[in-house]
Amino acid sequence: MVTEHLGAARTPGRPRSEKAEKAIIDAAIDMIAEGTGVAELSIEAIAARAGVGKTTIYRRWSNKEDLVVDALATLKAPMPELEGKSVREDVIRYLAGMQQETHHRRTRCIMNIALSESERFPHLAERFREIAVKPRRDALRAVVQRGVDSGELRADVDVEVAMAALTGAMIFFTKWRENDDELPADLPERIADQILAGLLP
């Protein structure tokens, strides 16, 4: 965003249209959600889709990455409530939420960007992590930590590793599955129970 908010210094002349701004950002997000990579996003296509002149875009953002950063910033990620009675219950609910999200093309493609474009757009990736990843990570960390504190989990549990195992297992299933079979409906339970119980006899 380039708009200046210096005190109450309202500029003379016609004010910028908030509707146009929203249309631009929506168009950008939609195109990303449809699989267009950041590098292939064209200002012209965004403008056309938003029903907006290219000028209107260049007036606000000086380059594409700035636009995308602002677009991602508007994504409010809904989070499942994690105030259940047990760690197991909260973990299952968290994993089920993840699984649910992979059904939305929008979420999938946005996650792809976070996974793959971080090499080329570090600024973008950092912003994305802050907005979408961190809140979820914090929520899960709180659940595990609560379990450790309450004695429901072992005291020597490595919280970060536990989070990685839970989250990573679900990502692995949803992204690297060999065939396109439906995922089993009880996948969250199975992951949670097995990681909680461990593999040893």
Q: Catalog residues that contact DNA under the rule CB under 7 A.
A: 10-17, 20-21, 41-45, 51-56, 58-60, 63-64
Q: What CA–CA distance (Å, rounded) separates 162 from 171?
A: 14
Nearer to a second copy, 70 or 117 (CB): 117
Q: Which stretch binds a second copy (CB under 8 A): 24-32, 41-49, 53-61, 130-138?
A: 130-138
Q: What CA–CA distance (Å, rounded) separates 182 from 43?
A: 37
Q: Which of DNA, a second copy, none does residue 64 bind (CB under 5 to 8 Å by kind)?
A: DNA
| Per-residue tokens: 178 | 């060999």
| Per-residue tokens: 55 | 């000028």
Q: Which of DNA, a second copy, none does residue 171 bind (CB under 5 to 8 Å by kind)?
A: a second copy
Nearer to DNA, 65 or 189 (CB): 65
How far from the centroid of its chain's Cα atoms is residue 38's Cα? 15
Nearer to DNA, 36 or 174 (CB): 36
Nearer to a second copy, 56 or 146 (CB): 146
Q: What CA–CA distance (Å, rounded) separates 176 from 170?
A: 10
Q: In a 10 Å sphere around its CB, with 0-12 CB exposed, 13-18 middle and 19+ buried, how is residue 171 labelled?
A: middle
Q: Which helix (H) or strand (E) holds 105?
A: helix 105-116
Which of 133, 139, 145, 146 binds a second copy (CB under 8 A)? It is: 133
- Cβ 108 to DNA, closest distance in Å? 22
Q: Which stretch binds a second copy (CB under 8 A): 5-13, 42-50, 78-86, 192-200?
A: 192-200
User: Considering only residues 38-67, where is the footprint of a second copy by CB under 8 A?
Assistant: 39-40
Q: Which of DNA, a second copy, none does residue 41 bind (CB under 5 to 8 Å by kind)?
A: DNA
Q: 188-191 — which CB contacts under 8 Å span 24+ positions?
A: 188/91, 188/92, 188/93, 188/95, 188/96, 188/99, 189/92, 191/95, 191/166
